[in-house]
Amino acid sequence: MRRVWMLLVVLMLGAGLVAVPGCRKQMVTVQTGEIVLCTNGEIVSDTTEEIEVPADEVGQHGVTTTVITCELHEKLASLYAAAEKALADGDMEAAERALAEITREDPGYRDSARLLADVRGGTAAAGGGAAGGTDPGGTAPGTSEGSAPGGTAPGGSSPGGSTPSTPDDDDTPVGPIANLTGYIPDRLPGFVGQRIYSDPFVLFRDYLPESPGKIVQLAVEVEQFKDAAMAEGYLDSRARTRYSSNGQDLKIGSLDAYFGTRPDLAGLAMTDGAVLVVLEVYTTSDNPAEHKDALVAAARAAAGQ
């Protein structure tokens, strides 16, 4: 009988241990699936969903991204090219027809509305729509002039040091978003990418740490500006103000950068020509500065440095 009681006690203790919350695996909500982005910023399709997985299995999941030029913007790009050619040839009627169709489909596409007004007013310059062939590509946030068209960012290199896309690469998307997505890959060292939020000149992406630790989340924001001077100005006005503690200027490869902290946050901002990239970690640490190395590693990977 004594043996039976001892066996029951052991079983009860075992059951109690199983029920202790601290002995259960920590679960994390992670996003998985695919997002397809148009080069002009629109989300073409989004099959992502949230699932709950053990914290040490986050690295097995994540969101993959694809960048394409959607049918609408392929059509608009073709019409815009036709309008530029017609302007160069002095065929104002053909230019007006093409520009009018563009503005019916998307009044905000590039500078088509202004060009149409110029054509109808008889002031359009021959040799290309945007004042002799330059392509504003739209208006960047916080600017009054156009930002970069497809290809490299003004005054900067393409992410990762790769050769920029050109219109001759028929299978390679070009445009603002095609330039910026290289800074927010599906994975960064120690982190797995989540959903992307976008508009034509800004991309924002969250990342989860692949292994449990003090870092709760990494966020990366990429913004295209008119020129390098404007990007540097925003680095000063945003990053140095937001992360005012433990401030330090540093280099990410060849790029100028700034690191700083505030309670619960550590941030690193860098400029790559006319592109500003800001990485921020949210942490449970009382000393956010301890995450500097993690941010530097992520920044190097993002910029291909």
Q: Is the dihedral of CA 125, 131, 132, 138 positive or negative?
A: negative
Residue 152 CA: distances (Å) to CA of 10, 81, 126, 259: 68, 19, 25, 26
| Ramachandran quadrant class, 210 (left: phi over 0; alpha: psi -120 to 50; beta: rest) | alpha
Domain boundaries, the chain: 177-303
Pick the CATH number of 177-303 from 3.40.1000.20, 3.90.110.10, 3.90.180.10, 3.20.20.70: 3.40.1000.20
Residue 172 CB-density burial (10 A; 0-12 exposed, 13-18 middle, 19+ buried): middle
Averaged pLDDT, 113-130? 72
Concatenating the DSSP letter of every residue in 145-184 gives SB---SSSPTTS--GGGPPPP-TT-TTS--SHHHHHGGGS
Identify the DSSP state of 212: -
Q: Is the dihedral of CA 289, 185, 65, 159 positive or negative?
A: positive
Return the pLDDT at 199. Answer: 78
Identify the DSSP state of 224: E
Q: How confident is the model at residue 152 (pLDDT cuts 50, 70, 90)?
A: very low
Q: What is the residue type of 50?
A: E
Q: How confident is the model at residue 42 (pLDDT cuts 50, 70, 90)?
A: confident
Closest alpha carbon to 116 in 92, 99, 93: 99
Return the pLDDT at 24. Answer: 64
Q: What is the rounded distance in angstroms from the CA atom of residue 107 to the CA atom of residue 110?
A: 9
Return the pLDDT at 157. Answer: 40
- The percent helix, strand, coil of the chain (3-state, each to 5) is 35, 30, 35
Q: Is the pLDDT of residue 153 over 60?
A: no
Return the pLDDT at 164. Answer: 33
Q: Which of 108-122, 148-162, 233-247, 273-287 has the lowest mean pLDDT?
A: 148-162
Question: Where do the DSSP E strands lie in 77-232?
Answer: 187-188, 191-199, 202-209, 215-224
